[in-house]
């Protein structure tokens, strides 16, 4: 139904309008428990023991999660969990409220089933979003994380100010979330990716790691555009300061290998590219993270996931958990439940007791 009718209707709308409309359509499921139960029944969602992932001291009913960026303001976590996601990453939020970058700031590339965005962390501020998560938390049945980023007004060349800004966001959300993701890799906040350099990363991640309480799980989200040496430097910091996990990867600034005509791509301009064109590089980075850090950290693979085969490739590459965003936009609301069912069949065919047995084996 979604592919044949609803997606065509949604894709007649500008991308940002379509996104707002989709969030509005989820309102009944967000606010009424009986609607959520009906949604789960319609999607044939059932708990499958073979898909349970135990990581970060949490139990994930399936490895398929929603990536940061879809629900930036934590408006629909209960509804999104009802669609079959095994975890949610909400945000990215910043210590200070800020608006989106100037429109247009979100673009579809249908020929590549991809998106380009340069939204730039629009949100009402970490305290406001955290309060919304706290109020809904008892009714969100899956682990829920919040991504934090740098406020736009904080100059990137003042590292102390940047660290203080992240710390303020961290303090606001840490008791509302099951895990916190430090987003240092968005291409849409000027200069932010400099925080992935060894010294800047040590200053920021070390401060956040020292600040957390015993129950706070801290992850870092990294860019796909780092070269091997840069990845190794950043992972050395992750190991040194004791970060709990790595999310690999964020969107890319690369435009290589696209089917969309070059004039259209050039006309869109700057922004982070997500979807299938990112898939191969995300898998490479997941493999490198796992090879470098072994089982010391949880690895979350994200980039171009559209079906169970893509998700399983990341799992076999070393990902404990998998996230999707663009594939959800193109695939529709049944996508997470469909992928979970297909993953269960793949686990059965592999002859192993659960999906965790396949992490890093391919």
Confidence of residue 4 (pLDDT cuts 50, 70, 90): low
pLDDT category of residue 268 using cuts at 50, 70 and 90: very high
Q: Which two tokens stand for residue 144?
A: 């829920």
**Closest CA relative to residue 240, chosen from 295, 184, 296:** 296
pLDDT of residue 27: 98
Domain 2-358 class, CATH top level? alpha beta
Write out the catalytic residue numbers.
186
List the chain domain ranges.
2-358
Taking 3-state DSSP, the helix, strand and coil percentages for the chain, each rounded to the nearest 5, stand at 45, 15, 35
Tell whether omega for the bond before 259 is within 30 degrees of 0, i.e. cis.
no
Write the pLDDT tens digit of every residue in 212-234.
887 789 999 999 999 999 999 99
Q: What are phi and psi of 64, to 5 degrees?
A: -85, 115
pTM of structure:
0.97
Mean pLDDT of 227-255: 97
Quick: pLDDT tens for 124-150.
999 999 999 999 999 999 999 999 999
């Amino acid at each position: 139904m979604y592919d044949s009718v609803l997606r065509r209707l949604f894709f007649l709308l500008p991308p940002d309008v379509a996104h707002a409309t989709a969030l509005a359509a989820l309102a009944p499921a967000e606010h009424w428990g009986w609607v959520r139960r009906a949604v789960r029944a319609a999607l044939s969602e059932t708990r499958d023991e073979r898909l349970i992932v135990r990581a970060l001291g949490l139990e994930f009913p399936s490895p398929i999660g929603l990536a940061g960026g879809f629900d930036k303001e934590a408006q629909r976590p209960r509804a999104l969990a009802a669609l079959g996601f095994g975890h949610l990453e909400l945000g990215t939020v910043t210590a200070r409220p800020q608006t989106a970058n100037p429109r247009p700031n979100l673009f579809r590339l249908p020929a590549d089933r991809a998106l380009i965005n340069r939204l730039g962390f629009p949100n009402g501020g970490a305290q406001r979003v955290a309060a919304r998560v706290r109020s809904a938390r008892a009714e969100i049945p899956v682990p829920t994380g919040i991504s934090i980023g740098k406020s736009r007004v904080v100059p990137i060349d003042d590292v102390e100010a940047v660290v203080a800004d992240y710390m303020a966001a961290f303090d606001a959300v840490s008791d509302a979330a099951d895990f916190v993701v430090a987003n240092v890799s968005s291409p849409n906040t000027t200069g932010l990716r400099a925080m992935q350099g060894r010294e800047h990363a040590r200053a920021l991640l070390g401060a956040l790691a020292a600040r957390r309480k015993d129950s706070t799980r801290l992850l870092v989200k990294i860019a796909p555009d780092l070269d091997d040496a840069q990845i190794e430097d950043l992972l050395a910091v992750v190991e040194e300061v004791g970060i709990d996990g790595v999310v690999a990867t964020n969107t890319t600034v690369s435009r290589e290998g696209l089917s969309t005509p070059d004039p259209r791509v050039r006309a869109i301009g700057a922004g982070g590219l997500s979807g299938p064109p990112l898939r191969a590089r995300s898998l490479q980075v997941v493999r490198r993270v796992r090879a470098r850090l072994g089982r010391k950290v949880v690895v979350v693979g994200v980039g171009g996931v559209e079906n169970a085969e893509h998700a399983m490739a990341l799992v076999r590459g070393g990902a404990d958990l998998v996230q999707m965003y663009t594939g959800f936009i193109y695939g529709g609301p049944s996508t997470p439940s469909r992928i979970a069912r297909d993953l269960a069949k793949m686990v059965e065919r592999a002859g192993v007791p659960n999906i965790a047995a396949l992490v890093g084996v391919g």
